[in-house]
Chains A and B, each alone.
Chain A
Amino acid sequence: MTQTQAPVVPGDRVSLSGAWSTPSTHKPTKRAGLPLGINIFLYLLPAFLLVTVFLAVPVLVVIALSGTDWAGIGIPQWVGAGNFVRLFSDPAFLKSLGNTLLWVLVGVFIHTPLCIIVALIVARKPRGWKIFRTVLFLPNIISATSLALLWYFVFHVSLGLINASLTLVGLESFTRNWLFDPSTALGVTMTPWVVYIGFGMVLFLTQISTIPQEYYEAAQLDGASNLRQDWSITIPLIRRAIALQVLFVVGYALRSFEYPFVMTSGGPADSSSTLSLYIYRQMLTANEYGMAMAAGVVTLIVGIVLTAGVFWVLRKAER
């Protein structure tokens, strides 16, 4: 970001409002003191408006109104920390928070290792590796809504692929109503996300392709097996990509909405609800806008803490 320094041009022909009548202040000096020109301001304005209206203001509003009781009309009543007390004594919220953190854990400790394993295999360029890469990435361009619908049918009790397959191979005793069984609903909503490893795989492949081939040649001379090379050379050298993947996992887990919303509606009995779904419900079903804002604040805080945690671990690993 620092390598380019094109100074503001004095005597701008298309100048608006004549603010460029003092060209002496626009000498191409090195770093210091170029005043904030009208042109720069105008060029920044669209971006500034977008970020202000749809990101900055919402963050301020969600914090400000999280301490109020508000049904959407009338004046919000200040209740201080009341919403947060209510949130943390609401079993549905605690379940949603716990489930979201479980999404993070499953993403980090099951999904990410799967991505790494497949990336390590594809990186050795077996026959047809490009086809595998293309096919495995495919789910990333399909909407999560459609994928959730698809997996709803996969797990569907009467016409689902899973139950039909189990019946086909004579394991009828294992068939169940996956989507409406409190012990399986959460796992079922996570499954599509866990098994679609395409994005992480490509992320790791990109980083692996930057590792010099000589490292592997040297290891081969020392008689190191493929597995040994992957473990001792590749994995340490893709730690940045791993950190990035974990950041994506955290981001996705906190936004996880489509799978529980479409497949189970968060049920049965909130067993598969997530923070996003909880906020959605507080807002549109319960009309508890203050509670929805408070839950939003908790989501933001969880996001900031986890993100900071990833950076902290990465910094330790870099040392």
Chain B
Amino acid sequence: MTAMGKITRWTILIVFTLITLLPLIWLILSSLKTNAEVFSNPFGLPQEWKFSNYSDAVAAHPLHLYLRNSLGAALLSTVIIITASMTASYALLHRFRLSRLTFSFLLFGILLPVNALMTPIFFIVNMLGLYNSVMGLALVYAGLFFPLGFLIVKTYMDTTPAEIFEAARIDGASFHSIFFRIAAPLTSPGAITAGIFLMITAFNELLFASILTTDADAQTVQVGVRYFLTTYSANYPLAFAATVIGIAPTVVIYMILSDRIVAAMTAGSLK
């Protein structure tokens, strides 16, 4: 490699790394400054580390409720999708008339720009009496993200050797016990991969959360964080602190499980 090539390569890598990290570092530092210092000293370390911004942010808006709702909707939708994907993948291991058509139907939404469906979904959720509820949001996420989870789980379950099912069947295992004792346990790595991906995707969703909820009892962090911008425009550090709180759950998990998460977020994409 020529010296010139080497310099170019390192420059590109470092530039993109700085673009990624600098705003985040700036955000964290700014969340610990006073409002005046954000303007007077935008780049430096805080002169006085104001950790109280965080408690003030929690006091200003019910962030704990937003977090609870986000986690609830993400967890609930993930559990629903994984369960439905597992049972459907297992059912589709069996050949029957229309099995290919069923498979296509379950997957057709994967390439759909789902935002185009926000109006009908808004009315369907209203008709089901689920407007402004974590349950409603979880079900909508479960429906919209189902094809993504299903593809990962199905691809994984299909790699299970057919002989294993055959042997269990010969031993007299029932339809259900083959599912619970063999198919589901053997597919759990795929289910975990899909689960990580779905949890992060649902936790980070904004559009449907903002059209389907109106009060703090059902609103998520993604919706709530914006209030700091509209109502607390005078106090930016609080908005920064709230943003950090909104980012923290996924970033902390990412720091622990980064390899696993990178694999999960791109899973099923190279099939």
Given A161-B23, A276-B116; 12 other pairs, CB 8 A cutoff? A43-B88, A46-B83, A54-B121, A55-B117, A62-B119, A137-B265, A143-B204, A149-B225, A202-B266, A226-B1, A254-B115, A289-B119
* 5 CB < 8 A contacts A-B: A1-B103, A9-B173, A54-B142, A251-B113, A255-B207
Q: Is the CB of A12 within 8 A of B176?
A: yes
- Name B residues whose Cβ lies closer than 8 Å to a Cβ of A: 1, 5, 9-10, 12-13, 16-17, 19-24, 26-27, 30, 38-39, 42-43, 80-81, 83-85, 87-88, 90-98, 102-103, 105-106, 108-109, 111-124, 139-140, 142-144, 146-147, 150, 154, 158, 160-162, 165-166, 169, 173-176, 178-179, 200, 203-207, 211, 221-222, 225-226, 229, 236, 239-240, 243, 246-247, 250-251, 253-254, 258-259, 261-262, 265-266, 269-270
Scan residues 213-268 of chain A and give those whose CB is less than 8 A from a CB of chain B: 226-227, 240-241, 244, 247-248, 251, 254-255, 257-258, 261-262
A302-B113 Cα distance, complex, nearest whole Å? 9
Which one of B16, B205, B269 lies within 8 Å of A197 (CB-CB)? B16
B12–A151 contact, CB under 8 A? no
The verdict on A138 contacting B20 (CB below 8 Å), with A144-B204, A149-B229, A199-B265 known, is: yes
With A12-B175, A149-B229: A206-B85 Cβ-Cβ less than 8 Å = no
Q: Which residues of A (52-78) have their CB < 8 Å from a CB of B?
A: 53-59, 61-62, 65
Stretch at the interface among A80-88, A181-189, A293-301: A293-301
Distance in Å: Cβ of A16 to nearest Cβ of chain B: 10
Q: How far is the CA of A60 from the CA of B138 in the complex (A)?
A: 22
- Residue of B22, B161, B243 with most chain A CB atoms under a 10 A cut-off: B243
If A43-B90, A150-B27 touch, whether A55 touches B103 (CB-CB below 8 Å) is: no
A177 touches B (CB below 8 Å): no
Q: Is the CB of B113 within 8 A of A255?
A: yes
Contacts of B207 in A (CB 8 A): 255, 257-258, 261, 276, 280
Chief secondary structure at chain A's binding surface? helix
Q: How far is the CB of B48 from chain A (nearest CB, A)?
A: 18
Interface presence of A283 (CB below 8 A): yes
Q: Tell me the nearest residue of chain B to A301, going by C-beta.
A: B116
Q: How far is the CB of A55 from chain B (nearest CB, A)?
A: 4
Distance, CA A266 to CA B213, complexed state (A):
22
B247→A146 contact, CB < 8 A: yes
Bound form: Cα–Cα A147–B221 in Å: 13
Q: Identify B23's interface contact among A1, A56, A154, A164, CB under 8 A.
A: A154
* B143 pairs with A55, CB closer than 8 A: yes
Complex contacts, B265 vs chain A, CB 8 Å: 137, 140-141, 199, 202
CB pair A146 B266 closer than 8 Å: no
Contact check, A141 vs B251: say whether CB atoms are below 8 A apart: yes
B interface: dominant SS: helix
Minimum-distance CB pairs A-B, first 10: A54-B143, A143-B204, A6-B165, A254-B113, A47-B88, A43-B91, A299-B116, A61-B120, A58-B120, A46-B84
Q: Which residue of B lies closest to A161 (CB)?
A: B26
Interface status of A13 (Cβ within 8 A of chain B): yes
- Report yes or no: B115 in contact with A161, Cβ–Cβ below 8 A: no
The reply to whether B20 and A34 contact each other, CB–CB distance below 8 Å, is no
Known: A203-B269, A244-B269. A303 touches B111 (CB 8 A): yes
A71 to chain B, nearest CB (A): 12
Report the bound CA distance from A299 to B162 in whole Å.
42
Residue in A7, A14, A34, A289 whose beta carbon sits within 8 Å of that of B174 in the complex: A14
Query: What chain B residues lie within 8 Å of A212 (beta carbons)?
Result: none
**Is A121 close to B, CB under 8 A?**
yes
B203 CB → nearest A CB, Å: 7
Q: Tell me whether A62 and B146 are in contact (CB under 8 A).
A: no
Distance A50 CA – B144 CA, assembled complex (angstroms): 8
Q: How far is the CB of A131 from chain B (nearest CB, A)?
A: 9
Find out whether the CB atom of A146 lies under 8 angstroms from the CB atom of B243.
yes
Instruction: Determine the distance from Cα of A283 to Cα of B142 in the docked complex, in whole angstroms.
Output: 23
CB-defined contacts of A28 to chain B, threshold 8 Å = 169
Name the residue in B150, B262, B265 with the highest tally of chain A Cβ atoms < 10 Å from its Cβ: B262
Contact digits for A142-173, partner B, Cβ 8 Å, 1 yes 0 no: 11111001111110001101001000100000
Known contacts: A9-B178, A255-B113, A300-B112. The answer to whether A55 contacts B5 by CB under 8 A is no
CB distance from A120 to the nearest CB of B (A): 9
Query: Bound complex: CA of A24 vs CA of B64, how far in Å?
Result: 58
Chain B residues positioned under 8 Å from A89 (CB to CB): none
Residues of A within 8 A of B91 (CB): 39-41, 43-44
Contact B203 A143 (CB under 8 A): yes
Q: Does A118 contact B (CB under 8 A)?
A: yes
B250 to chain A, nearest CB (A): 5
From residue A254, how far is it (CB to closest CB) to chain B in Å? 4
For residue A161, which residues in chain B have a CB less than 8 angstroms away from its CB?
22-23, 26, 42
CA–CA, A124 and B10, complex, Å: 12
CA distance A279 to B122 in the complex (A): 12
Complex CA distance for A292 and B116, rounded to whole angstroms: 9
Given A134-B262, A145-B204; A296-B118 close (CB under 8 Å): yes
The one of A62, A121, A145, A196 in contact with B116, judged by C-beta atoms closer than 8 angstroms, is: A62
Answer whether residue A175 sits at the interface, using C-beta atoms and an 8 A cutoff. Answer: no
Measured between beta carbons, the chain B residues less than 8 angstroms from A34 are 94-97
Indicate if the CB atoms of B266 and A203 lie closer than 8 Å. yes
